[in-house]
């Protein structure tokens, strides 16, 4: 449908434009106060420099919208197509991912100028009559940038964890440590769910990524979910019981990783004078015992579940249980940027379904029945990664507000743990 200037369409276009501008401003807010060095260094192959995130999300709008749909648009710098392409093979060659930290040039000022130029061009594009397919790409670009907002935060956390000074993203975040607004996590309970045939996946006109569809039916047997995620205190029990030393808890690939990398606790945990501390975006702080455990990989989540006499939920068990709840929680907009203890919610038996920590599932990241990869470069967005990765659900304390929904499928390799990833237990009902 083309933009025809009716009042309803004008309101919708104004809202889309405002969300675009808000999203772009929120990204800049995340890096306020950082140095050029903070934004250039790359701490590992899985992470990207903050400066690269700023430029790549800009390149995405330029590549997929402006070049094709804004008459007369001239790319800001043709070489950026090589520097800031992520994985789009059909676009062309790109800077190798492990070497993004070598991009000392362009300097941060040039990247910010690039963002301003592209933003101004996008505003000109949205002021004209454009087809619905173009507006859909703007929507995709907003959600793409929101994904990178979360990655930017988690990549900075990993970077700062490698600095002996253990800096904070913002000094004010240090003041939040030790605060326990819920007064401790409520006891974990088992919440029963009936089996049956259920529709899962995205349906309707609201935005969703292609991997969330088509909507289809699944059969579930009766199951139970834990009322909240596993806490740091509970994870200490696993550590102290030798959980990282007993191969019987672990899948073979997970045990090999434990041995290879000498894992003895979640990422960012350290012991100081007999007490556990954790690196956070506010710097090093005493471990918040009642908060959900975070920065664990799927191998760790699975091992803990075995140790606890439980299992991981499937992604569809999670979705069916979660979709009746409002999408509310501790997201990035709370500005805590760390998981916090659960609060008992009278209206729902489940706590912290959304926000705080991504919850690992037992489900491989695979296509739904009837899934088809889209045409062209944009079709590379999700589908080609459906191999060797596992689904996480629910969002985290670094996920932007408004980016989450019950059908959202995040995915990572089973050994990766630099994200705010945790675990909610499941079990079969007898």
pLDDT band (50, 70, 90) for residue 1: very low
Question: Which of the residue ranges 1-5, 226-230, 364-368, 390-394 would you say has the lowest mean pLDDT?
Answer: 1-5
- Are 55 and 85 a contacting pair, CB within 8 Å? no
Give pLDDT tens digits for 109-168: 999 999 999 999 999 999 888 888 999 999 999 999 999 999 999 999 999 999 999 999
pLDDT at 83: 98
How many structural domains comprise the chain? 2
* Same domain flag for 66 and 118: yes
Mean pLDDT, residues 270-292 taken together: 96
123 found inside a domain: yes
pLDDT at 214: 97
pLDDT band (50, 70, 90) for residue 2: very low
Mean pLDDT, residues 391-406 taken together: 97
Mean pLDDT, residues 7-33 taken together: 90
* Same domain flag for 83 and 188: no
* Same domain flag for 44 and 12: yes
* Same domain flag for 246 and 317: yes
Question: Which of the residue ranges 77-91, 334-348, 353-367, 372-386 would you say has the lowest mean pLDDT?
Answer: 334-348
Task: Tell me if the bond preceding 388 is cis, omega within 30° of 0.
Answer: no
* Same domain flag for 117 and 219: no
Share of the chain above pLDDT 70, in %: 95
pLDDT at 6: 60
* Same domain flag for 141 and 186: no
pLDDT at 346 over 90: no
pLDDT at 179: 53
Looking up residue 71, the CATH number of its domain turns out to be: 1.20.120
SS (H, E, C) the chain: CCCCCCHHHHHHHHHHHHHHHHHHHHHHHHCCCCCCCCCCCCCCCCCCCHHHHHHHHHHHHHHHHHHHHCCCCCCCCCCHHHHCCCCCCCCCCCCCHHHHHHCCCCCHHHHHHHHHHHHHHHHHHHCCCCCHHHHHHHHHHHHHHHHHHHHHHHHHHHHHHCCCCCCCCCHHHHHHCCCCCCCCCCCCCEEEECCEEEEECCCCCCCCCHHHCCCEEEEECCEEEECCCCEHHHHHHHHHCCCCCCHHHCCHHHHHHHHHHCCCCCCCEEEECCEEEEEECCEEEECCCCCECCCCCHHHHHHHHHHCCCECCCHHHHHHHHCCCCCCEECHHHCCCCCCCCCCCCCCCCCCCEECCEEEEEEECCCCCCCCCCCCHHHHCCHHHCCCCEEEECCCCCCCCCCCCCCCCEEECCCCCCCCEECCCEEECC
pLDDT at 211 over 80: yes
* Same domain flag for 202 and 162: no
Domain span at residue 344?
Answer: 173-428
Which of these three, 104, 137, 167, is where a domain ends?
Answer: 167
Which of these three, 150, 167, 184, is where a domain ends?
Answer: 167
For the whole model, what pTM was predicted?
Answer: 0.95
367 found inside a domain: yes
421 found inside a domain: yes
pLDDT at 184 over 90: no
- Are 304 and 235 a contacting pair, CB within 8 Å? yes
1 found inside a domain: no
* Same domain flag for 241 and 336: yes
201 found inside a domain: yes
* Same domain flag for 286 and 157: no
When the pLDDT of each residue in the chain is averaged and rounded to a whole number, the result is 94
pLDDT at 9: 74
* Same domain flag for 240 and 140: no
2 found inside a domain: no
* Same domain flag for 45 and 149: yes
> Cα separation of 18 and 12, whole Å?
10
99 found inside a domain: yes
Which of these three, 151, 167, 183, is where a domain ends?
Answer: 167
pLDDT at 281 over 80: yes
141 found inside a domain: yes
* Same domain flag for 255 and 198: yes
Looking up residue 381, the CATH number of its domain turns out to be: 3.90.1580.10
């Amino acid at each position: 449908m083309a933009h025809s200037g009716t009042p309803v369409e004008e309101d919708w276009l104004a809202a889309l434009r405002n969300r675009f501008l808000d999203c772009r401003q929120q990204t800049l807010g995340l890096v306020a106060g950082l140095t050029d060095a903070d934004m250039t260094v790359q701490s590992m192959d899985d992470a990207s420099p903050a400066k690269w995130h700023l430029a790549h999300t800009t390149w995405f709008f330029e590549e997929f919208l402006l070049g094709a749909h804004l008459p007369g648009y001239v790319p800001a710098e043709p070489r950026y197509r090589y520097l800031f392409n992520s994985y789009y093979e059909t676009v062309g060659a790109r800077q190798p991912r492990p070497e993004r930290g070598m991009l000392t040039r362009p300097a941060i000022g040039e990247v910010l100028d690039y963002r301003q130029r592209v933003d101004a061009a996008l505003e000109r594009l949205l002021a004209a009559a454009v087809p619905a397919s173009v507006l859909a790409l703007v929507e995709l670009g907003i959600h793409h940038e929101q994904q990178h907002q979360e990655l930017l935060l988690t990549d900075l956390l990993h970077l700062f964890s490698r600095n002996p000074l253990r800096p904070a993203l913002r000094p004010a975040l240090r003041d939040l440590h030790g605060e326990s607004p819920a007064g401790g996590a409520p006891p974990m309970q088992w919440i029963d769910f009936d089996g049956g045939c259920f529709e899962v996946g995205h349906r309707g006109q609201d935005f969703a990524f292609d991997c969330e569809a088509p909507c289809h039916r699944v059969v579930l047997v009766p199951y139970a979910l834990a009322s909240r995620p596993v806490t740091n205190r509970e994870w200490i029990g696993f550590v102290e019981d030798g959980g990282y030393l007993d191969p019987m808890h672990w899948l073979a690939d997970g045990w090999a990783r434990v041995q290879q990398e000498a894992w003895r606790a979640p990422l960012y945990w350290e012991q100081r004078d007999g007490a556990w501390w954790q690196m956070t975006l506010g710097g090093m702080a005493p471990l918040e015992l009642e908060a959900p455990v975070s920065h664990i990989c799927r191998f760790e989540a699975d091992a803990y579940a075995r140790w606890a006499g439980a299992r991981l939920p499937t992604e569809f068990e999670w979705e069916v249980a979660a979709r009746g709840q409002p999408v509310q929680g501790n997201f990035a907009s709370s500005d805590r940027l760390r998981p916090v203890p659960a609060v008992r919610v009278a209206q729902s038996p489940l706590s912290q379904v959304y926000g705080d920590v991504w919850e690992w599932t037992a489900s491989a990241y695979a296509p739904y029945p009837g899934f088809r990869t889209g045409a062209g470069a944009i079709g590379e967005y999700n589908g080609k990664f459906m191999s060797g990765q596992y689904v996480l659900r629910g969002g985290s304390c670094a996920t932007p507000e408004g980016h989450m929904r019950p059908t959202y499928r995040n995915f990572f390799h089973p050994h990766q743990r630099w994200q705010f990833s945790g675990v909610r237990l499941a079990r079969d009902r007898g």
